[in-house]
Amino acid sequence: MLGRTAVGLVCILLLAGAAFGQTESRACATGTWLTTGQFGFDMYFGDSDGMELNFVPRLLYFLSPGVGLGGEMDVWYEKVGDYNNTDFAIGPRFAYYLRMPRRHYPAACCLTGLVGRDGWWLPFVGASVLYQTSKWGAVSTSGYLARAGIGVSPLIGSRGTLTAELGFQRSHLESSDQNSLYLEAGFGAFLFR
């Protein structure tokens, strides 16, 4: 179910970016929307080894150039030892995108084949505070998930983007706290007229 949902959302994002066509870039300008879908994989080491797969759709509205405010939803599946867990979190997201002057992508850059050497690098910082629910078998708990990270969203054409974010997150549920690093990568589109 989660896999089909993720594939469907990625297809919608890509189609939305293509449908709006290629015009002069207004990425991160006031009044622009950014929709992204990121995928993540975490590994845990220590007393309980395990792994986590997650999908993170986000929607931001740029209140002023580079300053985005919106929402985030996190859906993930976790396996620790012999136990499986499904979590869901939703809440507000803030991000600041630094739109650097138009630069040439390096000749060896993987984006050069897609867009040529001209492009925008869009480094950013972002933070979210989310209400979180967790279900381990028949046991349900709730709490919060706070995360902050840095990343880059290089512009492809005038509206498409690839996103990558590295950061730190803290999950607090009724009876436990967990700190971890996360690395997410995905696709997105800037939506404007």
**DSSP per position, 95-157:** EEE--PPPEEPPTT-TTHHHH-SEE---EEEEEEEEEEEEEETTEEEEEEEEEEEEEE--EET
Interval 130-157 mean pLDDT: 89
Task: State the Cα–Cα distance between residues 16 and 135, nearest whole angstrom.
Answer: 34
Enclosing domain of residue 114: 2-191
Please tell me the distance from the alpha carbon of residue 39 to that of residue 7, in angstroms, as a whole number.
Answer: 11
pLDDT above 70 for 3: no
State the DSSP code for 182. E
- What tens digit of pLDDT does each residue of 32-91 get? 999 999 887 878 777 777 888 888 899 999 999 899 999 999 998 888 777 788 889 999
Task: Give tens-digit pLDDT for 91-100.
Answer: 999 999 987 6
pLDDT top residue among 43 and 110:
43
In the structure, what pLDDT confidence band is assigned to residue 135 with cuts at 50, 70 and 90? confident
The proportion of the chain whose per-residue pLDDT surpasses 90, expressed as a percent, equals 36
Do residues 100 and 120 make contact, with C-beta atoms less than 8 angstroms apart? yes
C-alpha 122: how far from its chain's center?
A: 14
Give the percent of the chain with pLDDT over 70: 77
What pLDDT is recorded for position 38?
84
Per-residue pLDDT tens over the stretch 5-33: 444 444 444 434 333 333 346 788 899 99
Which CATH number goes with the domain that contains 153?
Answer: 2.40.160.20
**155 or 30, greater pLDDT:** 30
What's the chain's average pLDDT?
Answer: 79
Q: What confidence score (pLDDT) does residue 64 get?
A: 92
pLDDT of residue 111: 57
| Average pLDDT score over residue span 145-155 | 91
Domain count, the chain: 1
Which of 126, 72, 118, 73 lies closest to 96, judged by CA? 126
